[in-house]
Structure 1
Amino acid sequence: MADFLSGPIGEDLYRLRRTHMYISMKPHSSPLDRPTLVLVFVVFLAAAVAFWDLLWVVVLALSLAVVVLPLQRCLVERSVPEGLSALMVTTLVFLLLTGAVGFTVAVLAQNADFLAEIVQGITGWIGMAGGGPAPGVGPESELAVWFDERFASFADAAAAFAAQVPTLVLDFIVFFLALYMFVYRGAAVAVELTAALPARLRSAVERMTAASVDTLYAIYIVHVATSVVTFLLAIPFFWVLGYDHIIFFSLMAGIFQLIPIIGPSVIMLIVGAFALSQGDLRGAALAALVGYPVVCALPDIYFRPLMMGRRARIHPVIMWIGFFGGLVVMGLVGFVLGPLFVVLAITAYHILVEELEGSKEAVDA
């Protein structure tokens, strides 16, 4: 018996006993309590169902808060209290958004008659080119009828939108209240939740968080900044073009820059068609040889990669899939959540591959 205990098996039993004594001496850490987790999950689910119609507003506020948090941290580092700095950042976002929306609506309203004139001129020119009716009889053409139907549907949509204004005002209020709270306490909550996770899970969550921040940076900062650059580049071009309505054309180019793939090329195509309908070959040549390279291509080829830098290397095709897929599935909020979910899925794939490779190496060893 003494020989048995002094052999290798005896040494293993001794080490196992010492390990058991060491574990029993450590402070007891209770495992996760399942009833508590179920209760928390039920509360979260009930809150999501109760506020389902406002959930997209909260999600948009959270995504925007992630982008503007560095500005709030910068103010805190300058000895501005956290609550006041969050209020200042939220106020700045409010002024920028309301100013941009108000400016856009005012410009479009002032140029509604000119837009109708452009449409009538192009439809009449297409009818003449196809051997159809004269410009004065243009509305009888199929294309003119199609435009009339589109304008009628647009008017119906505008009436429906006007009926929803009170609800949108409430959504607007909730959005900025949620934005303030996310800016004020969002970073602290994220740190608390991440610190409570196990080490390997925490590493995966941190990688997904970094990918999410880079994607939101690309959507909000780079995408919107490229649209602003397009607007500024379009102003001198349309001034040289000489059609007046410079701000209207430039604003439309900036708005269309927000639409992936399509971009302001549609505006240049419309301007070129309108120039040809007026017999202005100079204007059509400027739109093709100057407007497209400077206003359409230059922001995407030079300014977008310059602003993106090395922070977020996201393939453009992935962004396009996220944009269009998100818009189809989730509506307007999908413009933000679509690319975010696609990038998170790709990041999760890479994490899964690394975990499988690590497990395989451990088994082989």
Structure 2
Amino acid sequence: MDRRLAVLGGTLAGIAGLAAVILIDVLGTVFFALTVAFFLAPLRQWLRQRGRSRLTATVAVTTAAFVGVIALFAPIGYLVGARFSEVVALLSSLPTTIPIEIAGFSDEIVIADALVVVESWFRTAATRLVAALPVLLIKLTLFVLLVFSLLYNERDIRSSVLAVIPPSERDIAHALHERTRETLYALYVLQAATALGTFLIALPVFFVWGYSSPFALATVAAILQFIPVVGPSVLIAALVIGEFLAGDVVGAVGIGVVGGGLIAWLPDLAIRPRLARRTADLDGSLYFIGFVGGLLSLGAIGVIVGPLVVALLAETAGLVADEFDIEAEES
């Protein structure tokens, strides 16, 4: 029986690897759908326990996933579509030189070439995003179908996976299952809640400060919250530089102090710790390594894959350490 389970497990792994190679162009979408379905499975079970039918519960949870994805990516489309001309106009209005006067010595720093490069990059990025919209719509459809299928067949999938794992090793699968759930909670719920809090804090700050597009700036700050360590501080730094280039030194210092304190730091101090106890026990440096490594290796989907793989590696290392401790005590 053990040999048969090993053969079945190896066959499953081999076919999964072959499928990954063939479906490489949509592998990111498949993985994203898999993590979302895994994360939302408890919600579907909760609906089932309250008398909802299998189909009704699955449709409700899939709809929630669809709305969540739209809510996540809609601000990016809004910024590119509705605010593109404003961003270009802002870049064009910046001075091409910065005068410097120190102890009677005066000079000018020419930044015209840098502004041209930034504007060109922004135009190229916007053009590529618009050109990719048909493909994105296809991937969104695939995402919805996959989430629905995975949730609807959740019990069969779980039984198939557990069937090829020997009973004596299923505690390992359970530990990895729990770590995956906690990590996905950290990646989805914790980051989303912190991003929402950042938006709600940033919107009145940018409005009071007199920026012409406070909603767009608050949206950018919320999106940047998904980047660990750096976060919205990048936006605050850009605004400080913009105010400085415009000659408003007081405004640059003010947005640096107020924006840095309320937008860049407050959400991490007030929101994240309240939810942190529900998340995976993953060191911040390891999370950052997973985020950056996944992003550089796999692109956007690496933001999820990287930290998840690092978390599972940490969990497996802990299991190995515990196993050695047990063996040492028995000997």
Question: Partner of 2:265 in structure 1?
Answer: 297
**Among 261, 275, 281, which residue is 1:307 paired with?**
275
2: CA distance, partners of 1:245 / 1:185: 45
Name the SS for the 1:312 alignment partner: coil
2: CA distance, partners of 1:219 / 1:311: 9
Structure 1 residues 83-126: Cα deviation after superposition (integer angstroms, max 9, x where no partner) = 211111111221232244334322443333332344345553x6
Question: Partner of 2:69 in structure 1?
Answer: 97
Q: 1:214 and 2:182 equivalent?
A: yes
The answer for unaligned runs of 5 or more in structure 2 is 102-106
Name the SS for the 1:127 alignment partner: strand
2: CA distance, partners of 1:340 / 1:190: 20
Structure 1 residues 42-81: Cα deviation after superposition (integer angstroms, max 9, x where no partner) = 5434433332322221111011112222222222122111
2: CA distance, partners of 1:104 / 1:35: 46
Please tell me whether the aligned partners of residues 260 and 320 of structure 1 are also in contact (alpha carbons under 8 angstroms).
yes
The amino acid across from 1:106 in the alignment is Y
Q: CA deviation at 1:192?
A: 5.0
The amino acid across from 2:124 in the alignment is D
Question: Partner of 2:328 in structure 1?
Answer: 360
Question: Partner of 1:129 in structure 2?
Answer: 100
Structure 1 residues 286-325: Cα deviation after superposition (integer angstroms, max 9, x where no partner) = 3123211111101112211112224432221111011001
Please tell me whether the aligned partners of residues 121 and 278 of structure 1 are also in contact (alpha carbons under 8 angstroms).
no
Question: Partner of 2:233 in structure 1?
Answer: 265
Q: CA deviation at 1:343?
A: 0.9
**Among 42, 51, 56, which residue is 2:23 paired with?**
51
Q: CA RMSD in A?
A: 2.5
Please tell me whether the aligned partners of residues 5 and 164 of structure 2 are also in contact (alpha carbons under 8 angstroms).
no
The amino acid across from 2:45 in the alignment is R
2: CA distance, partners of 1:35 / 1:199: 16
TM-score by length of 1: 0.80
The amino acid across from 1:115 in the alignment is V
Question: Partner of 1:9 in structure 2?
Answer: none
Question: Partner of 2:315 in structure 1?
Answer: 347
1: CA distance, partners of 2:191 / 2:69: 15
Question: Partner of 2:81 in structure 1?
Answer: 109
Please tell me whether the aligned partners of residues 121 and 277 of structure 1 are also in contact (alpha carbons under 8 angstroms).
no
Question: Partner of 2:43 in structure 1?
Answer: 71
Question: Partner of 1:243 in structure 2?
Answer: 211
Structure 1 residues 122-146: Cα deviation after superposition (integer angstroms, max 9, x where no partner) = 553x62238227xxxxxxx3x3212
Question: Partner of 1:224 in structure 2?
Answer: 192
**Is the deviation greater in 286-295 or in 161-170?**
161-170
The answer for unaligned runs of 5 or more in structure 1 is 1-28, 134-140
2: CA distance, partners of 1:188 / 1:67: 17
**Among 71, 78, 84, which residue is 2:56 paired with?**
84
Bigger Rg over Cα: 1
Change (3 A) 1:160 1:318: same
The amino acid across from 1:254 in the alignment is A
1: CA distance, partners of 2:211 / 2:14: 61
**Is the deviation greater in 106-115 or in 51-60?**
106-115
Structure 1 residues 158-199: Cα deviation after superposition (integer angstroms, max 9, x where no partner) = 434444433332222111111112222235522553366334
**Is the deviation greater in 238-247 or in 184-193?**
184-193
The amino acid across from 1:75 in the alignment is L
Q: 1:280 and 2:248 equivalent?
A: yes
Please tell me whether the aligned partners of residues 202 and 221 of structure 2 are also in contact (alpha carbons under 8 angstroms).
yes
Q: 1:205 and 2:205 equivalent?
A: no
1: CA distance, partners of 2:240 / 2:165: 58
1: CA distance, partners of 2:134 / 2:82: 24
Question: Partner of 1:338 in structure 2?
Answer: 306
1:6-21 aligned at under 5 Å gives the runs none
Change (3 A) 1:306 1:69: same
Please tell me whether the aligned partners of residues 219 and 336 of structure 1 are also in contact (alpha carbons under 8 angstroms).
yes
Change (3 A) 1:113 1:190: same
Change (3 A) 1:311 1:264: closer
Question: Partner of 2:134 in structure 1?
Answer: 166
1: CA distance, partners of 2:179 / 2:12: 27
* Stretches of 4+ aligned residues off by more than 4 angstroms: 33-42, 120-123
Change (3 A) 1:176 1:70: same
Change (3 A) 1:183 1:286: farther
Structure 1 residues 237-289: Cα deviation after superposition (integer angstroms, max 9, x where no partner) = 11211123110111111121122222111211222222333343443243123
Q: Percent identity?
A: 25
Question: Partner of 2:295 in structure 1?
Answer: 327
Count of residues paired in the alignment: 326
Name the SS for the 2:153 alignment partner: helix
2: CA distance, partners of 1:218 / 1:38: 31
